[in-house]
Structure 1
Amino acid sequence: MKVLLFFEGEKVISTSGIGRALKHQKQALTMAGIEYTLDPNDDFDILHINTVGPASAGVIAKAHREGKPVIYHAHSTEEDFRNSFVLSNQIAPLFKKHLVSLYSSADAIITPTPYSKSLLEGYGIDLPIYAVSNGIDLDRFSYNPEKVKAYYKYFSLNETDKVVLSVGLYFERKGLPDFIEVAKRLPQYKFIWFGYTPLISVPKNIRELVEDHPVNVIFPGYVKGAIIEGAYAGANAFFFPSYEETEGIVVLEALAASQQVIVRDIGVFDPWLKDQVNCYKGQSVDEFVDLIEGVVEKRLPSVCDEGKKTAQERSIASVGQQLKTIYETVLENYRPATM
């Protein structure tokens, strides 16, 4: 069995969650002993497509002409497209129609969580839909004192500094306005938001927040490697106030780093994140302020150990075995359309 992993615009998506999904899928298939290619001109047995750009429909059509089954990995929904780029809300209904058309052309769908599966079912898509986590590279986020030192040095931090971390694009959907407001109310802490989006592509209110932010907020942009991995382990809390996700790979990264995680109480985190068990959940700025203070000042019990267990359940190796089972099922049940 040989799988074509198709990701359109690899350079463009490399810094996003979908970009990390590509890395994880390559690792997962290797660990499961499944041969794969990234070249649509290669021979393959099954197409596993991940993106929804203009080239995607052509790759799908070619696979169908050749009598090969197609699995669509649904990373995107109308809900997580909203409140992102300029005009995203106006375009969202058209984007949904585009997604439904593409996703419906597959033979089966994979999506990261039961929540995103329920959204797709709500779109009226009548295909087998499997919920499989994007997975997490546990080794990458194991505690490494050298990485923590690199993080401290990069931001000129000392042992008395208390840091609240977040990671994401500059989107309103990611909860950036709430992150800034919480930082204003907790001037005794430093707040670091890793990630980058060209400011010309986001609405004015978000652009202004990034350009004119409180002095205790740091926007280092897109940073990879030891710095961000050290930050996950060395910060005092990971705060992710996103309003909508299909999974939230950065949350898995924080859990894998044994970090104290504070998230917004939204559907995507049910049932795998449990309040006061493996994370803390809030719904408002007031609640987030109280939770962050409680975590940073250690007035609230640590949920790090349970969070780590949650990440371990979503290891790359586990994802590989789940993908292998799905591939085998789809191949077994596939019946090419008659011309």
Structure 2
Amino acid sequence: MKISHYFEFEDHVTGGIRESVVHQRKMLDRLNLAYTVEPSLEADVLHCNLMGPRSVWYAKRARSRGIPVVANTHVTAEDFGDSFRFTNALAKPLKPYLRWAYGLADALVCPSAYNRGLIETYTDTPTRVVSNGVDREKLEGFESLEAAYRERYDLDPPTVFLVGHVIKRKGLETFVELARRLPELDFAWFGPLDLSLKGRETTALIEESPENCTFTGYVDDIRGAYAAGDIFCFPTHEENEGIALLEAMTAGKPVLVRDIETFSWLADGEDSLKVAGSGVSGFEDALERLTDPELRSRLGTNARRRSEEFSLETVADRYQSLYEEVV
């Protein structure tokens, strides 16, 4: 079996979508499945990760030739807003386009049950939930970077942190306000800033954040973020899954999340702490609780155990069975 594993705009797209594609290709290598990263009509399966115009062109021709098409549903109109400049304006027309584009596939791969529920309002194309997974090997040895990264960004434990592109949808307002309310704690957001792509409100939040709130920009070794951070605070309003969350759990960090449907699989008080509603006070109270090292240790240990079910070794078999089914 040969897979055409195509990622349109591969040279331009970063963040979670790129990480998911990297994970998928590592899983294909693990499964010893032959694949090309070019769109091809000489393969047994055409697997598209972003349904841009070139992917749609190949999907239509693949179906006309009887080649099954698999597509990942990384992008939804709900997830697209409050990301970068102009994305709110584009979110509305994006939905009918995605309904059409996803409808060209024979099977859709959804990273979570929540994402699947959204996609089923778009199209009746069969769906399968397959996690983006977490690359446990990528994080090996992260502990050795703690001293260097704490010194580099002047961070004292317990440091509240987040990993990923700095965008409003991920709870930027809450993160900054928490830093303002809790000046005794250091806050660090590790990830690209791309201020030229931000709207005015997002830029103002970053530039007017308090002194104890650090935006590191691009980090050359992301393991350093998980070494220097102690409490993974993820107040996102909308998420398809959250690879950084899985990485934090794999690193044994306690995770604090907004209680949204995406995170329904997490157990409050066992492998995470959850905060209901859109306010900041609940997060403030939770962070004050997490200054207790015993609570951090217990939640972090349970989070690490829970993350094992998302390892690439486990997820790979689901791709194998999906390809066999569509062929």
Task: Output the TM-score relative to the length of structure 1.
Answer: 0.90
Letter of the structure 2 residue corresponding to residue 245 of structure 1:
E
Which of residues 146, 149, 154 is equivalent to 2:147? Answer: 149
Gaps of 5+ in 2: none
Summarize deviations over 1:124-178 as a string: whole Å, max 9, x none.
x112100010000112224543222332242244xx5431111232322110011
Amino acid at match of 1:321: D
Instruction: Number of aligned residue pairs: give it.
Output: 324
- Match in the other structure for 1:134: 132
Residues 234 and 170 (structure 1), Cα distance of their counterparts in 2 relative to 1, 3 Å cut: closer
* CA contact 2:149–2:227 (8 Å) conserved in 1: no
Residue 254 of structure 1: aligned partner: 248
Taking structure 2 as the reference length, the TM-score comes to 0.94
Does the 8 Å contact 2:163/2:225 carry over to 1?
no
1 or 2 for the larger relative contact order (CA 8 Å, sep ≥6)? 1
Are 2:257 and 1:263 equivalent residues in the alignment? Answer: yes
In structure 1, stretches of 5+ residues that fail to align are: 332-339
Separation in structure 2 between the aligned mates of residue 220 and residue 161 of structure 1, nearest angstrom: 17
Deviation of 1:4 (Å): 1.2
Q: 1:268 to 1:148 in 2, by over 3 A?
A: same
AA aligned to 2:243 is I
- Between 1:229-238 and 1:185-194, the stretch displaced more is 229-238
Tell me which of 187, 191, 199 is aligned to 1:191: 187
How far did residue 212 of structure 1 move?
Answer: 2.2
1:274 aligns to what? 267
Judge conservation of contact 1:49–1:71 (CA < 8 Å) in 2.
Answer: yes
My pick for the range that moved more, 108-117 or 166-175, is 166-175
Q: Is the contact made by 1:143 and 1:257 (CA closer than 8 Å) also made in structure 2?
A: no
Following superposition, the deviation at residue 189 of structure 1 comes to 1.2
- For residue 196 of structure 1, give the secondary structure of its aligned residue in structure 2: coil
In structure 1, C-alpha distance between the alignment counterparts of 2:106 and 2:132, rounded to whole Å: 20
Shift in Å, 1:320: 0.9
Contact 1:233 1:259 in 2 (8 A): no
Q: Distance in 2 between matches of 1:153 and 1:199?
A: 25
2:306 is paired with a residue of what secondary structure? helix
Q: Which residue of 264, 285, 290 corresponds with 2:285? A: 290
Aligned residue runs from structure 1 range 225-240, under 5 A: 225=221, 228-240=222-234
Q: Kindly report structure 1 stretches of 4+ aligned residues shifted beyond 4 Å.
A: none
Give the CA RMSD over aligned residues. Answer: 1.7
Return the alpha-carbon distance in structure 1 between the equivalents of residues 215 and 74 of structure 2: 26
Partner AA of 1:171 in structure 2? I
Are the counterparts in 2 of residues 32 and 317 from structure 1 also a CA contact under 8 Å? no
2:173 corresponds to 1:174: no
Distance 1:41 1:177 in 2: 44
TM-superposed deviation, 1:51: 0.8
Instruction: Measure the CA separation in 2 of the matches of 1:250 and 1:31.
Output: 22
Secondary structure of the 2:169 match is: coil
Q: Map residues 217-228 of structure 1 onto 2, 5 A cutoff.
A: 217-225=213-221, 228=222
Encode CA deviations 1:63-91: one digit per residue, 9 max, x unaligned. 22432110011011111112222333332
Q: What percentage of residue pairs aligned between the two structures are identical?
A: 37
